[in-house]
Amino acid sequence: QAKAFCACVSPALTYPMIHIVGVTPEARTLADAFGGKVPHDVERVRIGKKEIAALFDGIHQTERTDVDAVMVGCPLLILDELAELAAMLEGRTVKTRLWLFTDYVQYSAARKAGIIERIESSGARVVHSHCPGMVARAPEEAENMVVATDSLKVAMLFAGIGWPRNWLGTREDAIRAAVNGRFERTRWLS
């Protein structure tokens, strides 16, 4: 979860730096994050279920629930995540395009371990050395597409350019959308 959260700290987006007090090594305390003295006007953001629900509700750009594609892997998937996805897809067939993104080293290890074959037997595709944001087609083709993703970064990038339209959900939501061909609202946010 921390990996996915921190993926939004990107030059491509508007958040150039983040310190999570108690998590970031340089921010054991709030004072540590500021090198000693905490400015009196420092912005403090607390994120709970209500704020997360508002984000999920606010970022999607469509009410159409049938999806044209599902993208998982931003940040790029590691070997353990690919193995988890293989288990999630075991015995299932995707109804819509499911693209899983990783790097070449993870892809090679997953191929040797038989994980890629297990994933692709569902109809999903594992793509290496490629960013999900680069998959979107030309505007005239992509503006009517609906994509489901588990990546806040991908959802924010697509929302910023206006296409393809997207749904943001959990990884389980994304896989369910690929198998069923439609996006269902994230249950834990209700």
- Is the preceding omega at residue 132 within 30 degrees of 0, hence cis? no
How much is the mean pLDDT over the chain? Answer: 86
Confidence band, pLDDT 50/70/90 cuts, at residue 42: confident
pTM score, two decimals? Answer: 0.82
Q: What is the Cα–Cα distance from 45 to 4, expressed in whole angstroms? A: 18
Confidence band, pLDDT 50/70/90 cuts, at residue 48: confident
Ordered by where they begin, the domains of the chain are: 2-45 (no CATH), 57-182 (3.30.499.10)
Amino acid 96: pLDDT? 97
Say if residue 18 is exposed, middle or buried (CB neighbours under 10 Å; 0-12, 13-18, 19+): middle
**Tokens 């921010």 label which residue?**
27
Are 139 and 163 in contact, with CB atoms under 8 Å apart? yes
- Percent of the chain scoring above 70 in pLDDT: 86
Are 164 and 67 in contact, with CB atoms under 8 Å apart? no
Q: What is the Cα–Cα distance from 57 to 95, expressed in whole angstroms? A: 25
Read off the pLDDT of each residue in 92-120 and give the average, rounded to a whole number.
Answer: 98
Confidence band, pLDDT 50/70/90 cuts, at residue 160: confident
Per-residue CA distances from 186 to 117, 157, 183 (Å) = 29, 20, 9
Q: Is the dihedral of CA 115, 170, 23, 6 positive or negative?
A: positive
Q: What is the Cα–Cα distance from 46 to 30, expressed in whole angstroms? A: 13
Token readout for 119 is: 């994933």
Confidence band, pLDDT 50/70/90 cuts, at residue 155: confident
Give me the phi and psi of 177, to 5 degrees please.
-65, -40
Assess whether pLDDT exceeds 90 at residue 190. Answer: no
